[in-house]
Amino acid sequence: MAVQYIYPEYEVVRNHDRCIVCRVCERQCANEVHEYLADSNRMAADDSKCVNCHRCVALCPTRALKIVKTDHTFKENANWSGKAITEIYKQAENGGVLLSSMGNPENYPVYFDKILLNASQVTNPSIDPLREPMETRVFLGAKPENIERDENGRLKNNLPPQLQLSMPVMFSAMSYGSISYNAHESLARAAAELGILYNTGEGGLHENLYKYGKNTIVQVASGRFGVHKTYLNSGAAIEIKMGQGAKPGIGGHLPGAKIVGDISKTRMIPEGTDAISPAPHHDIYSIEDLRQLVYSLKEATGYTKPVIVKIAAVHNVAAIASGIARSGADIIAIDGFRGGTGAAPTRIRDHVGIPIELALASVDKRLREEGIRRNVSIVVGGSIRSSADVVKAIALGADCVYIGTAALIALGCHLCRSCHTGKCNWGIATQREDLVKRLNPELGYRRLVNLMTAWKHEIKEMMGGMGINSIEALKGNRLMLRGVGLNEKELEILGIKHAGE
Amino acid sequence: MREGMFRNVSGCAISGIFSRSGRRFSGKLIIDSITVMHERSNGLGGGFAGYGIYPEYKDFYAFHIFYEDRIAKKECEEFLEEHFDIINLSKIPTRKVPQITNEPLIWRYFVAPLPTKLADSQLDEREFVVRCVIRINTAIDGAYVFSSGKNMGVFKAMGYPEDVGRFYRLEEYEGYCFTAHGRYPTNTPGWWGGAHPFALLDYSVVHNGEISSYDANRRCIEMYGYKCTLQTDTEVITYIIDYLHRKKGLTLKEICSVIAAPFWSTIERKPQKEREELEYLRSAFDTLLVTGPFSIIVGFEGGMMALNDRLKLRSMVVGEKDDMVYVASEEAAIRVVQNDLDRVWAPKGGEGVIITLENGES
């Protein structure tokens, strides 16, 4: 047997006193970790295959299983971490680019966790959302420069197309292909019930889901998969994906193995061919080209739908956003470096891009300085983990947030970050029929509705505490925020004061 | 530390008296009204606005200016001479009152923009005046224009409002409308400019409350050339009203539906046309919604508007007697000047009470 450089990261611990050898773990694990030993009538596990997704743990009827991090260790080294060493072993072995999934897990600052919210005391009253109306409805889209009146002096509705949402949260782009049909259906139905929107991602839209069109954002990305006139007109808005927080500067790659059946049909590419989205849009090499695509899409849809331009948060994000705001876009979506993905080169995911909090603060400020903030709405994602993050993002200046990872977690994702293997035991990031079946859209959509309902309650509580009874009064209201443990420069960029000031 | 360097939260008393027929009455009446509400202020600011008080100069902008010293006055007067015809200038008459001390130099100028300067600027006359006022207030150290409308004037100081009224000899002025403010700030403002009313052109605002939307409103309005140098609610509300009324051409009623917008649940119950209009206003001007407690009285040429926040978190009462309309934080402040009222009521949250001269002229 060859030398094995890599010791498994996790160990499957089985309490044999509790194990009844029902073999459910064996059947549930697509990674084939568990094995039945007939001779001894016992279960065994191959730790090296375990991705720590908790599927077996969650299904074990006697709670006989748990997964622990191995205590096997390298000699301590403050420079060469076990992770760094292991990655070199892997690359020395296969000569390939390291792949990862979901958002950047590394130890960079999380600014949301260094920002605190205000509450009313004495000089103005806090408001109890259980007793008083508390409004979370938002409209996304450009606002008119001037009012217009008809011949009777009545105000004319000269608003460009707007998206109406019951709360400032939407489900972000995750393609049919990267996630399963059942995951897509769960998102679509939840969005419809909640009065918000979900996003097709770049894999087109399955014909069964056209009926959720008014709660759908249809995406146009560099691969143009699944894009046709009916598709564009089936949604409430169109999103041009220029970039993604998890992998700024590079495109996408859905392996041919996943391009089967309806996915091939929806993407309009032959079965078994790799779906490769180029890094740039090859018809957009500059800002003036973007403007042409924005207007092409508006022409195709009769100027009835807002156009979103989604970019990754990179160093020059404020200037880029300012350019987009002058290019006919109605909404800018900015995706932070913590944003999730179904697959990305590890080095890109972990080392490219900037935190969404800083990107948002500087974009909002720049657009205001230039007097064009009302030309566009701002949506941010990557990553929003709780209702508190939502409130902080709105107060920093966002109109709305996108959630992707949080929605998947609600559907059962355990953040094992192995989506790129296509063997998601939870039926989310997989196209294997037996696995997809595990996610019941009826239950999945309900869990998403529950999560958003809970967040909405929490958002209202926090707003009420601040004496704010409508979400628009929170938008860009940075006096409601204070930083803790941030330096002068960070505070300056965030445009907030330090706690105690 | 002085106001403008920190955010100063205030409780307050407000009062307003208006003659619909345009009959001019003495400023004594408004002093009597605001005096009753002594307990609602703490001696750290009081002030008045009077409309129709300068009929002999009604075609000229009346600038009331605080100077900290003669250097500031000289610099400011040079600026004024460069941009305006100065028709008349004088000290604003005051009397010594023991309670009012540390007064700055207080001057009044009746001016008209120089036609050549105005033409060069390519601005309309009122915008030209606004820009000049903002320029003086932000660029000339120690000079502060606190009143800049036609046929109206603001009088304010550190102190209780009744003392401020006596200091400015307000009883000697006659107008068709007066508003008053007694302030209860949580911090000392440090200078007279922080007192209220806050005014720009003929718009003046007296306000009681602490708005929770302050920074959202401030950051929105500052996109349009305004500078919130005082960091007070009153300042930002005045700018919002100026922006929506003068620059965007909304009616006062429409402005009420923006800054104290009805709840969505209320809007949905309205007839279709009204519903569409209200939806439009809330969506188009979303970040100018003002939340948190406030009651305000807005004075303007030929009219007065009283408005409460959408939840009515501050008291405000309106009374009517013949052609006279009274608005105050407390009914007592109305009764003390007119006990025999035809009608008295507390307007609902977000329900603007708009009073204008019957003949439409001032």
Which of A122, A145, A146, A147 to mutate to probe the B interface, most B CBs <10 Å?
A147
CB-CB under 8 Å, B281 with A155: yes
Interface test with B, best of A475, A496, A497 (most B CBs within 10 A): A475
Q: Is B132 a catalytic residue?
A: no
B280 touches chain A (CB under 8 A): yes
Supply the mean pLDDT for chain A.
95
Place of tokens 């407690």: B293
**B contacts of A125 (beta carbons < 8 Å):** 293, 313
Q: Is the peptide bond before A383 cis (omega within 30 degrees of 0)?
A: yes
The ipTM (two decimal places) reads 0.91
A252-254 and A275-277 beta bridge pairing: antiparallel
B 255-274: CB under 8 A from A = 261, 263-265, 273
CB contact under 8 A, B215 and A479: yes
Task: Find the Cα–Cα–Cα–Cα dihedral B125, B47, B334, B303, rounded to 10°.
Answer: 0
* CA–CA separation, B33 and B156 (whole Å): 16
- Tell if the CB–CB gap between B291 and A476 is shorter than 8 Å: no
ω into B197 cis (within 30 of 0): yes
Check CB contact of A480 with chain B, cutoff 8 Å: yes
Inside any domain, residue A266? yes
Which of B249, B280, B286 is nearest residue A472 as measured by Cβ atoms? B286
Contacts of A476 in chain B (CB under 8 A): 215-216, 219-220, 287
Nearest to B293 among A125, A470, A476 (CB): A125
CATH number for B10-53+151-356 (one of 3.30.1280.10, 3.40.50.720, 3.60.20.10, 3.40.720.10): it is: 3.60.20.10
Tell whether B226 lies on the interface with A, counting CB pairs under 8 A.
no
Chain A residues in contact with B215 by the CB 8 A cut-off are: 476-480
Confidence check: pLDDT of B361 > 70: no
* B220 part of contact set with chain A, CB < 8 Å: yes
Task: Return the CATH number at A205.
Answer: 3.20.20.70
* A313 and A409 together in one domain: yes
User: DSSP per residue over B247-308, as a string?
Assistant: IS---HHHHHHHHTPPPHHHHHTS-HHHHHHHHHHHHHTGGG---SSEEEEEEETTEEEEEE
Angle at B304 between CA B37 and CA B258, to 5 degrees: 105
- The reply to whether A477 touches chain B by the CB within 8 Å rule is yes
- Determine the pLDDT at residue A430: 93
Please indicate, yes or no, whether residues A199 and A291 belong to a single structural domain of this protein: yes
User: Which residues of chain A make contact with B277, given a CB cutoff of 8 A?
Assistant: 154-155
Q: What is the CA radius of gyration of chain A?
A: 24
Q: Cβ B283–A478 below 8 Å, yes or no?
A: no
Residue B347 forms contact with A (CB below 8 Å): no
Span B246-273, average pLDDT: 96
Q: Which of residues 37-66 of A touch B (CB under 8 A)?
A: none
Buried b (16+ CB within 10 A) or exposed e, B164-182: bbbbbebeebbbbbbbbbb
Distance (Å) from the C-alpha of residue A149 to the closest C-alpha of chain B?
Answer: 10
pLDDT band at B8 (very low <50, low <70, confident <90, very high): confident
Summary mean pLDDT of chain B: 94
CA A320, A97, A416 angle in degrees (round to 5)? 85
Does residue A199 share a domain with residue A71?
no
Residue A201 has pLDDT above 80, yes or no: yes
Its sign, for the CA torsion B122, B124, B127, B128, is positive
Find chain B residues with C-beta within 8 A of A162's C-beta: 283
Q: Hey, which residues does B308 pair with through a beta bridge?
A: B295
Shared-domain flag, residues A172 and A92: no
Q: Which residues contact A338 (CB under 8 A, 6 or more apart)?
A: A103, A104, A110, A245, A355, A356, A382, A383
The letter for the amino acid at A430 is T
Q: Which two tokens stand for residue A458?
A: 């929490």
Q: Check pLDDT > 50 for residue B362.
A: no
Task: Identify the helix (H) or strand (E) that includes residue A68.
Answer: strand A65-69
- Average confidence (pLDDT) over A144-150: 94
Structural domain containing residue A34: 10-96
> What's the pLDDT at B32?
96
Give the residue extent of every domain in chain B: 10-53+151-356
Quick check: A477 and B210 CB within 8 A?
Answer: no
Q: Is residue A31 part of a domain?
A: yes
Asked whether residue A480 is assigned to any structural domain, the reply reads no
Query: What integer is the mean pLDDT of B276-284?
Result: 96
Number of domains in chain A: 2
Which CATH number characterizes residue A79's domain? 3.30.70.20
Query: Is A124 part of a structural domain of the chain?
Result: no
Residue A138 lies in a domain: no
pLDDT 10s digits, A254-298: 878 788 889 999 999 999 888 889 999 999 999 999 999 999 999
Residue A286 CB burial class (10 angstroms; 0-12, 13-18, ≥19): exposed
**pLDDT tens-digit readout, A22-63:** 999 999 999 999 999 999 999 999 999 999 999 999 999 999
Same domain, A92 and A175: no
Same domain, A85 and A194: no
Of the residues A63, A96, A129, which one is the last residue of a structural domain? A96
Which residues fall within 8 angstroms of residue B53, CB to CB, at 6 or more apart? Answer: B151, B152, B153, B173, B174, B175
- Do the Cβ atoms of A409 and A171 come closer than 8 Å? no
A177 and A265 share one domain: yes
Regarding whether A268 and A183 lie in a shared domain, the answer is yes
| Selected residues 286-325 of chain B with any CB under 8 Å from a CB in chain A | 286-287, 289-293, 310-311, 313
Residue B360 pLDDT: 63
Quick check: B284 contacting A, CB < 8 Å? yes
The strand pairing partners of A344, in sequence order, are A100
Q: How far is A234 from chain B (nearest CA, A)?
A: 24
Per-residue pLDDT band at B184 (split at 50, 70, 90):
confident
In this prediction the pTM is: 0.94
CB contact under 8 A, A155 and B280: yes
- pLDDT band for position B5 (50/70/90)? confident
Cβ(A102)–Cβ(A421) below 8 Å: no
B213 to chain A, any CB pair closer than 8 A? The answer is yes
Higher model confidence: residue B136 or residue B190? B136
Q: Nearest to residue B308, comparing CAs of B259, B264, B269, B275?
A: B259
- The answer to whether residue A439 sits within a structural domain is yes
- pLDDT tens per residue across span A322-361: 999 999 999 999 999 999 999 999 999 999 999 999 999 9
Segment A84-96, tens digit of pLDDT:
999 999 999 999 9
| Least confident range of A73-87, A252-266, B164-178, B218-232 | A252-266
Average pLDDT (A456-478) is 97
Residues 6+ apart with CB under 8 A from A447: A186, A410, A411, A412
Distance to chain B for A160, nearest Cα, Å: 10
Q: What residues pair up with B353 in beta bridges, in sequence order?
A: B306
B277 with A154: Cβ contact below 8 A: yes
Tokens (6 digits) for B8: 């100063």
Section B266-284 average pLDDT: 96
Helix, strand or coil, per DSSP, at residue A225: coil
Distance from B291 to chain A by nearest Cα, in Å?
6
Statement to judge: residues A353 and A436 lie in one domain = yes
Whether residue A399 sits in one domain with residue A302: yes
The CA-atom distances, in angstroms, between A347 and each of A79, A245, A246, B80, B97 are 18, 13, 10, 63, 75
pLDDT digits (tens, 9 = 90+) for B74-89: 999 999 999 999 999 9
The reply to whether residue A157 touches residue B213, judged by beta carbons under 8 angstroms, is no
Judging contacts by C-beta atoms under 8 Å, the chain B residues touching residue A472 are 216, 282, 286-287, 289
**Do residues A82 and A199 share a domain?**
no
Q: Do A472 and B254 touch (CB under 8 A)?
A: no
CA neighbor of A391 nearest in space, from A487, A468, A339: A468
Q: Do A154 and B290 touch (CB under 8 A)?
A: no
Cα distance from A463 to chain B (closest Cα, Å)? 10
Reading across the β-sheet that carries A237-241, which strands appear in turn?
A169-171, A400-403, A377-381, A331-335, A307-312, A237-241, A216-220, A198-199
B277 inside 8 A of chain A by CB: yes
